[in-house]
Amino acid sequence: MTDCTPLPWDIAVVGLGIRGIHQMTREVEETVRRCAKTFVTDMALGVVDHLRTLCPEVVDLSSAYRPGNHRVLIYRQMAAQVVTAALESPPVCFASYGHPKVYCYPTTLIQRAARVLDLKVTVLPGISSLDSLLVDLNLDPALDGLQVYEATDLVVRERPLQTDAPCVLLQAPIVLDAFNSGGVPRVDDVGRVQEYLLRFYPPDHWVTLLVSAVHPLLEPIRKGVRVADLTRALRQAPTVSTLYIPPVGSRPVADRELAERMRLPDTGNGNGPPRRPGRPPIGPRAE
């Protein structure tokens, strides 16, 4: 039986995850099924074909990434297509790889246009490249925190970096490439990332360029490189790589009294968390 109840939204913005169709949530799949038309931006194998089994009309937006076009114009065109379709025959779906609120500007543009045009939008999360990175690099941000920056934004604004907290830089190989030029990045551009990082980190500090697997049969690609050699590595890296910079050291406790009350392990008085006899130390690392 067909459910004729109107949906409480005109546009669903959904995340598809990183690993092909294998990280699509049930919630996202159900939502795509309920839409008249789905616009998709995801290069992973089989995603567009799978969506075609769920929705009567699927528009692959990957051709919008024409070299030489300013990225903001590309995103505006995507958002315009989605909003126009929602005005004509809602409900429609915009499906992007990863998480639709993690470095996904079309989502913001769709939300802004929808507000002006009185269209209702629902946004459903997906597994992002940041989620994948935490697993691929075995990182839990509870320990030392986490800094996340966009590479161009980092060098343009000269954002301060804390060397005692891990740092993730998205879009590093395409830094300062507003026009989606493709090909090998310019030495001057990627060189600025290296130059900027050298203001904070020693030249022999090891960082990792990561590409998380976009299919369950693939392995993540992790390439270790010293900050001093980063320019060359960024020129050779796949454009979807994320740069991970581990901390140089850990931040010492500032309030010893509080740390002792919490029985944190690095207060240096042997009064750490309770342990069973003979067990190796686990949990937050000691100084």
Contact positions vs ligand SAM (CB under 6 A): 18, 96, 98-99, 102-104, 128-129, 170-171, 210-212, 214, 240, 242
What is the closest distance, in whole angstroms, from the C-beta atom of residue 16 to ligand SAM in the complex?
9
Cβ proximity to ligand SAM: between 150 and 260 the closer is 150
Nearest to 125 by CA among 101, 94, 93: 101
Cβ proximity to ligand SAM: between 58 and 104 the closer is 104
What is the closest distance, in whole angstroms, from the C-beta atom of residue 158 to ligand SAM in the complex?
20
Cβ proximity to ligand SAM: between 32 and 95 the closer is 95
Cβ proximity to ligand SAM: between 225 and 259 the closer is 225
DSSP the chain: ----PPPS-SEEEEE-BSSGGGG--HHHHHHHHT-SEEEEE--STTHHHHHHTTSS-EEEGGGG--TTS-HHHHHHHHHHHHHHHHHHS--EEEEESB-TTSS-HHHHHHHHHHHHHT--EEEE----HHHHHHHHTT--TTTT--EEEEHHHHHHHT----TTS-EEEET-TTTT-TT---SSPPHHHHHHHHHHHTTTS-TT-EEEEEE--SSTTSPPEEEEEEGGGHHHHHHHS-TT-EEEE--SS-PPPS-HHHHHHTT-GGGSSS--S---TTPPP-SSPP-
Cβ proximity to ligand SAM: between 242 and 267 the closer is 242
What is the closest distance, in whole angstroms, from the C-beta atom of residue 118 to ligand SAM in the complex?
27
What is the closest distance, in whole angstroms, from the C-beta atom of residue 253 to ligand SAM in the complex?
33
What is the closest distance, in whole angstroms, from the C-beta atom of residue 53 to ligand SAM in the complex?
23
What is the closest distance, in whole angstroms, from the C-beta atom of residue 115 to ligand SAM in the complex?
22
Paired tokens of 137: 């690099």
Q: Which residue is nearest to ligand SAM (CB)?
A: 98
Cβ proximity to ligand SAM: between 101 and 232 the closer is 101
Cβ proximity to ligand SAM: between 34 and 101 the closer is 101
Paired tokens of 242: 């994320």
What is the closest distance, in whole angstroms, from the C-beta atom of residue 198 to ligand SAM in the complex?
21
